[in-house]
Structure 1
């Protein structure tokens, strides 16, 4: 009998809806103010990260392994922000909570791809700091532009392949009951839970992706800084120790800004039983705020970028002063 049921289930055709209905932000009181806030975040994020990309691309002094990692992070910030916020704001401006099936899968891919790229970029930057502090004499032979140019495309290919696998498995599940997504974008978990057939494979792959691009990077970064702090403790003078530690400040802030909100949000969901509105707001903020803060952190904490900005603005203001003097 069980074999008969199994064969019957295999013969059932897969049902894909024409569209999904995203309701994550529909029940939030005064949601119009939140959309305005999102638009401000979007504007600051795009301008800030585009400026960082432009500075690194145009100034040859920033063509170093450290800033190749920053360049990747800025690209990921822009990509994730464009994958999330415009669709959320579109819902408010045009009262359109519908998204086609294929557009939903594309949205899922780009959000998770750029988010995973952010996480891996932070791991690369921690590796850069680890070699710079623990093996300073061998730094340029281990970490150089050639190795980073090879590593960066490899990461993009690996991340896109893993996320594409996760998204492609959505096509094997059938949606015959509901097409209402309880989230603010086409999130993987809320989508596969709508399935009316077995979704255990999707659940398992989702866990692997989370472990690979969230849990594993946190562990690697923690261990790398444990080694860094042990190396710093062996430095005899406080001046040299502090100087070495200052080179890690901006990266530590980036790590905290990215991982802390996500971890806090998921822990709050487990321990505090957040309401759906509180869960949506906290999760969306955990995804959209770090890309806005990243360029601000680097501009304020990196002497090379600050000096470059000062030179740019001083050159632009110089002709104005000359005209006034005349």
Structure 2
């Protein structure tokens, strides 16, 4: 029982294994990556918050995407940077669970938020006359609240099911903590956990992919019916931006999920794809939306011209 208690409270890290000459480059890479993510997402957040002209339904929903990205990237990078600097070989189980919880919140939240953004664009393009009636401030807050509460409830139950199980292993080889890596430490039947995990993935994918397929088909029909070429071009540009972000997240995320259930797949490839899910979307999302969304791009350029290069 004493040994089991020790195993339960402390994990042995066997995931970095950096040689002395690789520690500094790894530290620089991880720190710069996190600084870029932090800078880009904070710029997007501040641009929307500080400009009243951007306090519109589309941007209020978009505001939650960089917040969510910062949750996921911070949970990953702060732990990795700490491990590199301290050359730590152990980690508290509670800290691992906390990291895994926020990473799963990030993954689920990103999918649901992009779905909410697709719904907003659908109403704006297909029902423009009813947009201001449907997408009022109260309804926007309801949508945002439903997204966040859905994440908290779904992931909260996932980790409740995990924490009830006894553990008899302590070695962690994954680059970050997540539900599958924590389940690998369990010495009990995990059937319920696996079924519930697949249920979460199925529900989120059916809701998100189903909603986006329907809304985008309707948007395409509305665009081709429109006689105004400028309106059609703007709508298609907005949809292309959103679809690029969504497909990037889906490809990385689904591959990582499926790879845990394929025994013959390279563990190095699985780790690379998993880490990419935590690096590329949080880095590219603010850049894509900042460059492709005219209103945001103009506000960001104006801010830097005014603050950095004053006339």
Identify the residue that residue 142 of structure 1 maps to in structure 2. 134
More moved, 262-271 vs 74-83: 262-271
Give yes or no for contact 2:26–2:84 (8 Å, CA) kept in 1. no
Identify the residue that residue 278 of structure 1 maps to in structure 2. 269
The answer as to 2:221 corresponding to 1:230 is yes
Alpha-carbon RMSD: 2.6
Identify the residue that residue 210 of structure 1 maps to in structure 2. 201
CA distance in 2, matches of 1:318, 1:204: 56
Identify the residue that residue 9 of structure 1 maps to in structure 2. none
The answer as to 2:110 corresponding to 1:114 is no
Identify the residue that residue 76 of structure 2 maps to in structure 1. 84
Alpha carbons of 1:49 and 1:121: their partners in 2 closer, same or farther (altered >3 Å)? same
Counterparts of residues 184-223 of structure 1 (less than 5 Å): 184-214=175-205, 216-223=207-214
Match of 2:298 among 304, 307, 312: 307
Counterparts of residues 1-326 of structure 1 (less than 5 Å): 17-26=8-17, 32=23, 33-176=25-168, 178-214=169-205, 216-236=207-227, 238-265=229-256, 273-316=264-307, 319=310, 321=311
Note the alpha carbon deviations across 1:138-179, whole angstroms, 9 max, x for none.
Answer: 111111222111221232122111111111111221112x11
Question: Greater CA radius of gyration, 1 or 2?
Answer: 1
Note the alpha carbon deviations across 1:4-26, whole angstroms, 9 max, x for none.
Answer: xxxxxxxxxx9661112243333
CA distance in 1, matches of 2:31, 2:308: 30
Offset of 1:238 from its aligned partner?
Answer: 4.6
User: What's the TM-score, normalizing by structure 2?
Assistant: 0.88
Alpha carbons of 1:212 and 1:97: their partners in 2 closer, same or farther (altered >3 Å)? farther
Note the alpha carbon deviations across 1:115-155, whole angstroms, 9 max, x for none.
Answer: 21111110010001111111111111111222111221232
CA distance in 1, matches of 2:309, 2:163: 60
Offset of 1:314 from its aligned partner?
Answer: 3.0
User: What's the TM-score, normalizing by structure 1?
Assistant: 0.84
CA distance in 1, matches of 2:270, 2:308: 47
Aligned to 2:17, what secondary structure does the other structure show? coil
| Unpaired runs of at least 5, structure 2 | none
More moved, 154-163 vs 42-51: 154-163
Note the alpha carbon deviations across 1:265-296, whole angstroms, 9 max, x for none.
Answer: 55677789442223212221122211011110
Offset of 1:316 from its aligned partner?
Answer: 3.1
Offset of 1:112 from its aligned partner?
Answer: 0.6
Give yes or no for contact 2:252–2:277 (8 Å, CA) kept in 1. yes
CA distance in 1, matches of 2:224, 2:19: 50
- The size of the alignment, in residue pairs, is 306
Give yes or no for contact 1:19–1:179 (8 Å, CA) kept in 2. yes
Note the alpha carbon deviations across 1:209-262, whole angstroms, 9 max, x for none.
Answer: 222334532332223212222322333465543232123232122212322222
CA distance in 2, matches of 1:147, 1:261: 31
